[in-house]
């Protein structure tokens, strides 16, 4: 399906004011649709609509996470972060409208390149440097009052790093990102993120800062350079043990001896188990990577990366996206409020109210369950109290006379 064919597709449904062209993917929290936004005089563009799944819409905590993604991303304006255009609600379902990054993930890119001897070093370094730049922007973002938000992405993985066919890298999915100013804390023991990419301090429940994301990015760098998994094991327990308990990570040069020492050093620094030994900021890691690009005369333009990706995925690029074209179910004609990014800035307090309402609903549900349990306990105690008040049942009278003889054992 070529880009022009996508443009000519008839919609299979509608979410908010967007015509849905088909489903791109479904995840644990949301489904992703390719959509079309139409304007005056036949003006239109393709974009992505991300809508919460039905089971998520009934969970106040998960909905609050989705709203949080909108709140965080609306504050982030960076060429390597996928922008959100709009936050909306329809029939109780919340959704985001965001840029359509037509391309492939770093995971797909590395896997496809294996047959050709792995990814070229300049391509890897350029992609990871761009992600580091995106993370630095997120880590240093401030609120409307000018105070640092302390955003930590917490889910930097090859699947969340997209490289578009135009050669631009985008960091996706701030759905589980955490801001230091966030009111609700993660429940104890609720680990989020991909197991093989989480930092030691993330497993140990410590307060996180941007250096946790740098560890995750270091794992991505190691795997993209070597073509091998670093911490993925047969099960989650072994993966956790490898990250938390094992010694320093192996040198990438053990797998790929021709790697420059400088890049291996960047890997080792980012992957230090003690975060005090890592790069202090994402900006410092980016600078170290770009230094190698400059000194080795391997500075790449977007068009250079685009050419490589388009050639590696020539068939997929020509075909266009795979779409599930089934008609959307449970569509409604009425739509809720549709808020542009500018309006989201102005209505930040309203989004706080949404989170508070979701939290209140959760508390009401908890209180209702507790009340039912309390009533049952009180009822049981009342029954027991009545039984104790009446005393134990009177013993049966001892048999006598003929009855006694009849009942005696032989």
CA distance 393 to 404: 22
pLDDT for 75: 83
Top pLDDT among 201 and 358 is at 201
Task: Please give the C-alpha separations between residue 270 and each of 215, 217, 226, 250, in angstroms, as whole numbers.
Answer: 5, 8, 16, 13
Residue keyed to tokens 């040198």: 251
Q: For residue 189, what pLDDT is reported?
A: 42
Model confidence at 358, pLDDT cuts 50, 70, 90, reads very low
Task: Report pLDDT for 11.
Answer: 93
Q: What is the pLDDT of residue 54?
A: 81
Regarding predicted confidence, which is higher, 69 or 267? Answer: 267
Phi, psi dihedral angles at 186 (to 5 degrees):
-65, 135
Residue 163 belongs to what H/E stretch? strand 161-164
pLDDT of residue 144: 85
Residue 211: name the closest of 142, 277, 291, 286 by CA: 277
Instruction: Tell me the pLDDT tens digit for each residue of 287-318.
Output: 999 999 999 999 999 999 999 999 999 999 99
Q: Is pLDDT above 80 for 44?
A: yes
Q: Provide the β-strand partners of residue 97.
A: 49, 86
| Rounded average pLDDT over 4-25 | 88
Bridge partners, residue 89, by sequence: 94
Instruction: Encode pLDDT of 103-136 as tens digits.
Output: 999 999 999 999 999 999 999 999 999 999 999 9
Most confident of the ranges 62-66, 96-100, 184-188, 370-374: 96-100
Domains and CATH numbers, the chain: 1-102+320-376 (3.30.200.20), 103-317 (1.10.510.10)
Q: Between these two residues, 18 and 87, which has the higher pLDDT value?
A: 18
Q: What is the pLDDT of residue 121?
A: 97
Most confident of 57-61, 180-184, 297-301: 297-301
The pLDDT confidence band at residue 369, using thresholds 50, 70 and 90, is very low
Percent over 70 (pLDDT), the chain: 74
143-162 pLDDT, tens per residue? Answer: 888 999 889 999 999 999 99
Determine the Cα–Cα distance for residues 22 and 13; give it in Å rounded to an integer. 8
Under the banding of pLDDT at 50, 70 and 90, the label for residue 382 is: low
Q: What's the mean per-residue pLDDT of the chain?
A: 81
User: Over 80: is that where the pLDDT of 364 sits?
Assistant: no
pLDDT of residue 360: 55
Query: Residue 57's pLDDT band (boundaries 50, 70, 90)?
Result: confident
Per residue in 234-256, pLDDT tens?
Answer: 999 999 999 999 999 999 999 99
CA-CA-CA-CA dihedral for 223, 224, 225, 227, to nearest 10: 60
State mean pLDDT over 345-366. Answer: 47
Q: How far apart are CA 94 and CA 16, in angstroms?
A: 10
- pLDDT confidence tier of residue 52, bands split at 50, 70 and 90: confident
Catalytic residues: 155
Write out pLDDT tens, residues 313-354: 999 999 999 999 998 875 433 344 444 444 444 444 444 444
């Amino acid at each position: 399906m070529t880009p022009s064919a996508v443009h000519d597709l008839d919609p299979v449904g509608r979410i908010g004011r967007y015509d849905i062209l088909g489903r791109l993917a479904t995840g644990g929290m949301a489904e992703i649709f390719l959509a079309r936004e139409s304007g005056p005089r036949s003006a239109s563009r393709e974009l992505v609509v991300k809508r919460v799944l039905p089971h998520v819409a009934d969970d106040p905590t998960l909905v609050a996470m989705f709203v949080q993604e909108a709140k965080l991303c609306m504050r982030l304006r960076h060429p390597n972060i996928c922008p959100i255009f709009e936050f909306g609600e329809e029939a109780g379902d919340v959704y985001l409208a965001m840029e359509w990054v037509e391309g492939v993930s770093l995971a797909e890119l590395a896997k496809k390149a294996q047959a050709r001897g792995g990814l070229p070093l300049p391509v890897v370094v350029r992609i990871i440097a761009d992600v580091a730049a995106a993370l630095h922007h997120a880590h240093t973002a401030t609120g409307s009052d000018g105070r640092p938000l302390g955003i930590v992405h917490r889910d930097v993985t090859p699947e969340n790093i997209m490289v578009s066919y135009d050669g631009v890298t985008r960091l996706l999915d701030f759905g589980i990102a955490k801001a230091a100013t966030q009111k609700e804390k993660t429940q104890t023991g609720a680990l989020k993120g991909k197991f093989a990419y989480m930092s030691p301090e993330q497993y140990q429940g410590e307060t996180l800062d941007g250096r946790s994301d740098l560890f995750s990015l270091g794992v991505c760098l190691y795997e993209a350079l070597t073509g091998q998994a670093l911490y993925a094991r047969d099960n989650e327990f072994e993966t956790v043990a490898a990250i938390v308990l094992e010694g320093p990570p192996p040198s990438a040069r053990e797998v790929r001896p021709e790697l420059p020492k400088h890049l291996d050093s960047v890997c080792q620094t980012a992957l230090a188990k003690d975060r005090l030994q890592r790069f202090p900021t994402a900006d410092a890691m980016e600078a170290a990577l770009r230094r190698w690009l400059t000194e080795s005369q391997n500075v790449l333009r977007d068009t250079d990366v685009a050419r490589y990706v388009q050639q590696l995925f020539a068939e997929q690029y020509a075909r266009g996206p795979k779409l599930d074209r089934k008609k959307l179910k449970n569509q409604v004609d009425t739509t809720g409020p549709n808020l542009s990014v500018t309006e989201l800035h102005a209505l930040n307090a309203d989004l706080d109210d949404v989170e508070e309402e979701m939290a209140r609903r959760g508390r009401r549900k908890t209180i209702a369950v507790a009340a039912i349990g309390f009533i049952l306990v009180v009822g049981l105690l009342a029954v027991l109290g009545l039984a104790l008040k009446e005393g134990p049942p009177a013993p049966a009278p001892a048999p006598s006379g003929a009855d006694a003889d009849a009942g005696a054992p032989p």
